[in-house]
Chain A
Amino acid sequence: MGDWDTFDYDVIVIGAGGAGLRAAIESAERGCKTALVCKSLLGKAHTVMAEGGCAAAIGNVDERDNWQTHFADTMRGGQYLNNWRMAEHHAKEAPDRVRELESWGALFDRTKDGRIMQRNFGGHKYPRLAHVGDRTGLEMIRTLQDHAIHQTIEVHMEVTCLKLLKDGERVSGVVAYERERGRFRVFKGKAIVLATGGFGRAFRITSNSWEYTGDGQSMAYHAGAELKDMEFVQFHPTGMVWPPSVRGILVTEGVRGEGGVLRNSEGKRFMFDDIPPLYKHQTADNEEEGFRYTQGDKEARRPPELLTRDHVARKIMKEVREGRASPHGGVFLDIAWIKDRVPGGAEHIKKKLPAMHHQFKELAEVDITEVPMEVGPTTHYAMGGVSVDGDTQMTNVPGLFAAGEVAAGLHGANRLGGNSLSDLLVFGRLAGEHAAKFAGETSSGSVDEADIKQAFADALAPFERESEENAYMIQKELQGKMQDLVGIVRKEDEMKEAIAVIDQLQGRSAKVGVDGNRDYNNGWHTALDLLNLMTVSEAVARSALDRKESRGAHFRDDFPQKEEAEANHNTYIKKGPDGEMQLSRKEKEPLRDELEKIIAEEQK
């Protein structure tokens, strides 16, 4: 030990998905000495998994679309718990961010007259998602990556950050280790942007990759930043359910956008049964109209399969629980049925959904142009995260910024599909801009050597211990408990149990020992991720326990309705003076009049 390499930057961006790359590009363009530190190789971050598209009110397919409608859709989808300032920035700036990608080499699918094609998605009033088949995330991350490598950005690949360093109140750096040889690094920086994504690995069934262990949320929390809206975890309605080893892998909402329908074991389109009042006027009441909508008929209303994700996920769970499940415990998602109704038949499906066709063929030996898929809910996205200022993306810790999934605010209680990729671009850029400004106005803070030594000693402690506990097993237990006790349907006693279990597992994590040495040691890495997973899991459970209603993605069996009394606050989590987790409620900031009017207008 005792040994580390030190680096000095203006701006350090942690995470290299869409938000991190966009933030780093912005910071570098503004002349800051910028580092991009990522847990994996460049271009492998979770953004790569996004399928359906990037929402932006460009109005290429339906000229009635504009930022006001996008704003209102986003707020309605989020059940009005969104940070409205962020929702406004997002709706206004997304079109420019998408167009900018084309100048950097992205090639979106086109309309007949050669403009960027847009597709329908749940909760969006008009076709709004710019896309490339069903691999839009890959297109986006590659475009950003290929642009970023020509900027003056220093990339640290396969380097995992452990702990933020502070100088008084402000952030001054971060300590990290590189995977290859397990050597330590200290990054000093005037400003730090967290762009580390979500924490889906806290659950058993998830569409998220191994990296998603809540590192950013946890590091921010332990550095004194506030977390917000942690009770809102999105369970995507359609993940694969069979075979067991692929359970949770995402099946894009684009399948439903292209005309795919959900049926239960009795062959019934159960989504027509229960349409929420907020959406009644814009949802089709018969199968024919719904189909016409997916094929571009502007007079038709959307099919109920394209209601918001929280609603569709719960409806699927209901079918399963009431005994109308498919053979492997999901429901049927059928796109094959459109074959006889669209020109090109099976070829049309393959062209619109190539990745889905490939995925089911290779992993489940199912040809989706012939037979229905089996799908069920999967942990997908964290609406909650680090609380940030809506105009600058700075947290309550000076110099510490957050953008993308790690940050809270834009999506409120539930995120609309397609709003994530645009989130990354808009707020990645905004965070990069304000981090650069902050760095320009301040001098370097100092880092405390004792802090650094302590962080490294903690990281190496598992090597010193006898292997009483196995990191993989503890992680697995946590995932199982979170899935069962703080999953799609929640109850008070179960969440209390979860908090007790997390406490116990935290104790056991302290006894984890690791074998081998520091060279690319996955066991050690897993052990180090545990602290983060525990922290975010506890925050989710405590926040969920406190919200005594059902709203958006948060569903309580013991409080199944939306409650007026719960409608006006967000939940905040903060580390207390003795290291305990503190929860508080804060009133929402009232909307600006102009925005209030837009929402009222759109509800007509």
Chain B
Amino acid sequence: MSKTVTFRITRGTGEKTELVDYQTEVGEGMVVLDAVHQIQAESAPDLAVRWNCKAGKCGSCSAEVNGMPRLMCMTRLGEINLDEPVTIEPMRTFPLIKDLVTDVSWNYEVKKRIKKMKPRKPDNEDGSWLMDQEDVERPQEFRKCIECFLCQNVCHVLRDHKLHAEFAGPRHFVYAAQLEMNPIDTADRLEDLKGPDGIGYCNITKCCTKVCPEHITITDNAIIPLKERVVDKFYDPIGKLFRVFSSRDS
């Protein structure tokens, strides 16, 4: 398999962008990122693309390939119709820096405000803890996250409604969930999730889950349980009464 294919790639900075066609020869087993690199080497040396590992482990090369949010390094050309031009555009939810590179720094700011890990006293004298495999498996699913921010990119609360100031987004709910479900953590993040992190804005359309390259069941396993915990704590009148009395007793 060797053929010449047209790639239609976003070029430009800020608001001034255009789609530019590049042609290059593609071979067996190539992924979209290979084609982008080849175009860089052959005809567009200053084409901006962010990438690191090229093995689906670092989450740097997120983009929209024919409109689908994907990691370029894990998208094989074999699964795309190559008779039509292949469109490669940057993630739309974040400000564009140049070409395929976006400014994702907002994500790093949001993460900082989520309460950090606060472990309980160690179980053993050497400072270690005992945890069952079964109990670590739930948060381990969330710790597979490679921070590609594709979930943030497709979430309509951010993408369409631009509620970046009031909503932490699926990535950070997954992050909060793994902390909340860490067997030795003692911090309480529910008030923040309800308030500044705005988990209530999520109306569980599951777009985030669909695009996650790590196949994390973001909505069902992370967001919904967190929403339930928030409801239990703040909206359940019986539970509230129970807490009032039990705190009096203690």
Contacts and interface: CB of A to CB of B under 8 A. Distances in A.
Q: Do A and B come from one complex?
A: yes
Interface of A: 40-46, 48-49, 95-96, 99-100, 102-105, 107-110, 112-117, 132-133, 135, 137-139, 142, 146-147, 149-150, 157, 180, 209-211, 242-246, 249-250, 355, 358-359, 362-364, 470-473, 476, 514-517, 519-524, 526
Contacts of A41: 50, 60, 104, 108
B30 A245 contact: yes
A362 B182 contact: no
B58 A49 contact: yes
A242 B31 CA distance: 13
Top 5 A-B pairs ranked by shortest CB distance? A243-B29, A516-B46, A523-B45, A114-B130, A520-B48
A519 B29 contact: no
B interface secondary structure, majority: loop
A42 B108 contact: yes
Interface in B124-146: 126-133, 136, 139-140, 143-146
B117 interface: yes
Contact of A515 (B28, B45, B129): B45
A353 to B, nearest CB: 14
B157 to A, nearest CB: 23
A563 to B, nearest CB: 38
A99 B48 CA distance: 40
B48 A519 contact: yes
Contact of B41 (A40, A49, A472, A515): A472
A314 to B, nearest CB: 25
A107 B140 contact: yes
A245 B34 contact: yes
Contact of A520 (B97, B119, B128): B97
A265 B170 CA distance: 47
Contacts of A157: 105, 108
Contacts of A43: 58, 147
Contact of B30 (A107, A117, A243): A243
B55 interface: yes
B127 A103 contact: yes
Contact of A109 (B54, B103, B136): B136
Interface string B144-187: 11110000000000000000000000000000001100101100
Contact of A523 (B27, B46, B51, B129): B46
Nearest to B112: A149
Given A209-B58, A245-B29, A520 B98 contact: yes
A211 B45 contact: no
A425 to B, nearest CB: 15
Contacts of A137: 57
Contact of A211 (B47, B52, B112, B127): B52
Contacts of A209: 51-54, 58
Given A150-B112, A242-B29, A473 B58 contact: no
Contacts of B108: 41-42, 149, 157
A526 B40 CA distance: 11
5 contacts: A103-B117, A103-B127, A139-B143, A147-B117, A245-B30
B99 interface: yes
Given A48-B146, A522-B40, 11 more contacts: A99-B126, A104-B117, A107-B143, A107-B178, A135-B144, A149-B111, A210-B52, A249-B54, A363-B29, A514-B46, A524-B46
Contact of B45 (A48, A250, A514): A514
Contacts of B51: 209-210
A39 B104 CA distance: 15
A331 B136 CA distance: 36
A104 B40 CA distance: 41
A41 B76 CA distance: 25
Nearest to B99: A520
Given A43-B147, A103-B127, A110 B55 contact: no
Contacts of A149: 108, 111-112
Nearest to B119: A103
B14 to A, nearest CB: 10
Contact of B55 (A49, A95, A109, A521): A49
Nearest to B100: A520
Nearest to A247: B29
Contacts of A516: 45-46
B136 A44 contact: no
Contacts of A211: 52
Nearest to B126: A99
B85 interface: no
A99 B46 contact: no
Given A244-B29, A515-B46, A516-B46, A147 B127 contact: no
Contacts of A355: 57
A359 B55 contact: yes
B198 interface: no
Most buried by A among B57, B143, B144: B57
A99 B128 contact: yes
With most chain B CB atoms within 10 A of its CB, the pick from A45, A147, A249, A470 is A249
A521 B46 contact: yes
B131 A114 contact: yes
A245 B132 CA distance: 41
B221 to A, nearest CB: 15
B49 interface: yes
Contacts of A110: 131-133, 136
A146 B117 contact: yes
Given A105-B179, A139-B143, A40 B52 contact: yes
Nearest to A249: B55
B59 A44 contact: yes
Contact of A522 (B48, B111, B130, B179): B48
A115 B45 contact: no
B74 interface: yes
B127 A99 contact: yes
A104 B129 CA distance: 12
Contacts of A109: 133, 136
B116 interface: yes
B175 to A, nearest CB: 8
Contacts of B143: 107, 132, 138-139, 142
A551 to B, nearest CB: 31
A224 B196 CA distance: 51
B218 interface: no
Contacts of B131: 107, 110, 114
B53 A48 contact: yes
A107 B179 CA distance: 10
Contacts of A515: 45-46
A102 B128 contact: yes
